[in-house]
């Protein structure tokens, strides 16, 4: 009987130790390294650290990301609540930086709000799981936060692994538009980068230009005419080039011998770029590209 009791006590102690080690490891894995400032328009957030991986999102110049890990040529980041990888060359890393990251929620039973970013600093307040704060910066692994009390706002620090972001950062340039259908459509279209160009193609095994736009828009409930000229003449509303928005269709003429008003079409993705099916497969091209700039024929807004 005593042996059984000793064994149970030993097993209980071992279980508690393993649990503590697991919690500690998880905390170490999720303490944030710093803030990243995007140094390019159209910087893609990818599912894995490879240019061949799926595009999850696209960031704009001076947008902020939370850096989770340094992965060689890539950073693992949180961008607008999506977790993925960005090419390090286009992200300016700062271990200490003020940034409006929006609202966050306490993710464990009890956390300390401290006066400085270290565990020995004065405790200003204890917060319970589910309580919310506004994150206004990051300092060597600690979120700088504003917390509202009956006396007003209190500014302090909470270790970054103890908070979960719940809001797209208001300071990001595409805050109000990022989650729109148009942006979702553009993000979705990037999943097909590299799909072969096939004349008359309308499926994921191969697209032509209008087959690609028709397929992508159809996934979001918008039915387009089959060919580029008909899409330009009969779908959506005319948009001036100076007023292009993410998700607009952009059209080009004389890309092959034809008298049609438009012979090629793509989807505007922001940053003066468009995604389209062309020779070499689905790809992204700049509107200022010598070939396309002189053939630009107009734009239409579908969404």
User: Mind listing the pLDDT tens digit for each residue in 235-284?
Assistant: 999 999 998 999 999 999 999 878 889 999 999 998 899 999 999 999 99
Give how far Cα 77 sits from Cα of 39, 56, 152, 198, 206, Å. Answer: 14, 12, 32, 36, 32
Are the CB atoms for 234 and 225 separated by under 8 Å?
A: yes
Q: Which of 4, 71, 108, 264 is catalytic?
A: 264
- The answer to whether residue 209 is catalytic is yes
Residue 14, φ and ψ in degrees, nearest 5: -65, -40
- The answer to whether residue 4 is catalytic is no
If you ran DSSP here, which 8-state letter would residue 242 be given? G
| CA–CA distance, 112 with 119 (Å, rounded to integer) | 9
Domain with CATH 2.30.30.40 in the chain: 32-176
- The answer to whether residue 276 is catalytic is yes
| Numbers of helices and strands, H then E, in the chain | 5, 22
Tell me which residue has tokens 């649990």.
19
Chain centre distance of CA 179: 10
Closest by CA position to 72, among listed 87, 94, 84? 87
Assign domain 181-301 to a CATH class: alpha beta
Q: Give residue 6's pLDDT.
A: 45
Closest by CA position to 208, among listed 192, 186, 223? 192
Q: Which of 4, 71, 108, 276 is catalytic?
A: 276
The domain 32-176 is placed in CATH, from the list 3.30.920.30, 3.40.50.720, 1.10.3720.10, 2.30.30.40, at 2.30.30.40
Domain with CATH 3.90.1720.10 in the chain: 181-301
- Lookup: tokens for 88: 């390090």
Q: Give residue 56's pLDDT.
A: 83
Q: Which of 4, 71, 108, 209 is catalytic?
A: 209
The low-confidence residues of the chain, meaning pLDDT below 70, are 1-29, 149-152, 173-179
Closest by CA position to 75, among listed 90, 85, 60? 85
Buried b (16+ CB within 10 A) or exposed e, 139-154: bebbbbbebeeeeeee
Q: Which residues pair with 64 in a beta bridge?
A: 37
| CA–CA distance, 281 with 274 (Å, rounded to integer) | 14
| CA–CA distance, 57 with 284 (Å, rounded to integer) | 14
Task: Report H helices in 190-244.
Answer: 209-218, 228-234
The model carries a pTM of 0.54
Residues 6+ apart with CB under 8 A from 192: 204, 207, 212, 216, 282
């Amino acid at each position: 009987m005593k042996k059984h009791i000793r064994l149970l006590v030993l097993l209980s102690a071992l279980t508690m130790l393993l649990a503590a080690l697991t919690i500690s490891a998880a905390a170490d894995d999720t303490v944030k390294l710093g803030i990243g400032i995007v140094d390019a328009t159209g910087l893609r957030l990818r599912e894995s650290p490879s240019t061949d991986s799926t595009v999850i999102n696209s960031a704009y110049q001076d947008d902020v990301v939370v850096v989770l890990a340094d992965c060689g040529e890539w950073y693992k980041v949180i961008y607008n609540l999506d977790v993925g990888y960005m090419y390090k060359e286009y992200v300016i890393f700062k271990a200490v930086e003020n940034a409006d990251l929006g609202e966050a929620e306490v993710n464990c039973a009890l956390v300390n709000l401290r006066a400085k970013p270290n565990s020995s600093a004065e405790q200003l307040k204890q917060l319970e799981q589910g309580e919310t704060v506004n994150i206004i910066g990051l300092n060597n692994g600690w979120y700088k936060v504003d917390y509202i009390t009956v006396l007003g706002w209190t500014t302090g620090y909470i270790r970054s692994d103890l908070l979960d972001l719940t809001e797209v950062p208001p300071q990001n340039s595409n805050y109000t538009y990022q989650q729109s259908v148009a942006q979702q459509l553009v993000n979705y279209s990037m999943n097909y980068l590299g799909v072969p160009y096939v004349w008359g193609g309308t499926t994921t095994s191969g697209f032509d230009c209008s087959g690609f736009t028709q397929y992508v828009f159809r996934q979001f409930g918008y039915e387009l005419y089959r060919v580029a000229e008909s899409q330009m003449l009969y779908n959506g509303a005319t948009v001036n080039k100076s007023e292009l928005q993410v998700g607009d269709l952009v059209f080009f003429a004389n890309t092959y011998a034809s008298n049609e008003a438009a012979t090629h079409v793509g989807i505007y993705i922001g940053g003066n770029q468009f995604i389209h099916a062309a020779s070499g497969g689905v790809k992204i091209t700049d509107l200022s590209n010598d070939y396309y700039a002189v053939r630009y024929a107009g734009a239409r807004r579908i969404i």
